[in-house]
Amino acid sequence: MAVLITGCSTGVGRAAAIALARAGLPVWASARKIDTIADLADQGCRLVRLDVTDEQSRVEAIQTVGTLDALVNNAGYAQAGPVEEVSLDRLRAQFETNVFGAVRLCQLALPAMRERGRGVIVNVGSAGGLIGVPASAAYDMTKWSLEALSDALRMEVRRFGVRVSLLEPGGVVSAFAATQASTWPETVGPYEKFRANHHERMIRYTRPGAPGMSTPEQVAKVVLRAVTARNPKARYKIGPAARVLPLLYRTLPTPFWDAFMRRLFPMT
């Protein structure tokens, strides 16, 4: 079973490549810069350069892998900032990586999977695809898109023997807070205090050992389960945040939910 995993330079993608290789699966680990994953060859992975936003790179990667049994769409990043200040160019870039890259790789992988009558597609979403969080609209919109993509695709390709699963991890220990801070638009206006508060809270909530946080290795175990299961689940919720926050979002009256979010992420 050949598995292609996108975004393996850090975090969940790297951990998943290692976990699947250790389980004896032929793994193709990919990243935009091959030198960032060179050490994964020592873990038993094959390496392929893949920029999920570049069509030539996508086509060449699929051709290099050849027969592909499973695709793990993990590549993605977080764009932070209030809606008023996030430029459309940055928003388009967020969708190019987190959504359109995943969609196009599905399109490239599916014909061969359909012809053989088997295959697995695992999309790595987020609890952010189930709720909206202040300063995370750009990121959350992309993860909401993966919810729709995975639902529609699952029903479309099931009759061809192809299974589709969506992972919904909550907080994952990673460089997420640092990435968000670096992508927040420069501001000295009405959102400056919010920016400082948000960065402080993200560091607190995503640090190792923070309540409810999962490690990349824990998420990787679920990737392995989804790839190898005879009948994988449509959705895998990972960690307390993915279970509790969406429930609160659906059941609390909107004013109470909004007040809860303002307490988590003070804006003044």
Residue in 139, 191, 205, 249 annotated catalytic: 139
- Tokens 């969609």 correspond to what residue? 103
Which tokens belong to 263?
């307490």
Nearest to 53 by CA among 16, 90, 10, 104: 104
Please confirm, yes or no, whether 139 is among the known catalytic residues: yes
Question: Residue 170 in contact with residue 212, Cβ under 8 Å?
Answer: yes
Tell me the Ramachandran region of residue 165: left when phi exceeds 0, alpha when psi lies from -120 to 50, beta otherwise. beta
CA distance 148 to 205: 28
Per-residue CA distances from 63 to 89, 96, 184, 201, 227 (Å)? 30, 21, 37, 43, 21
- Residue positions annotated with a catalytic role: 139
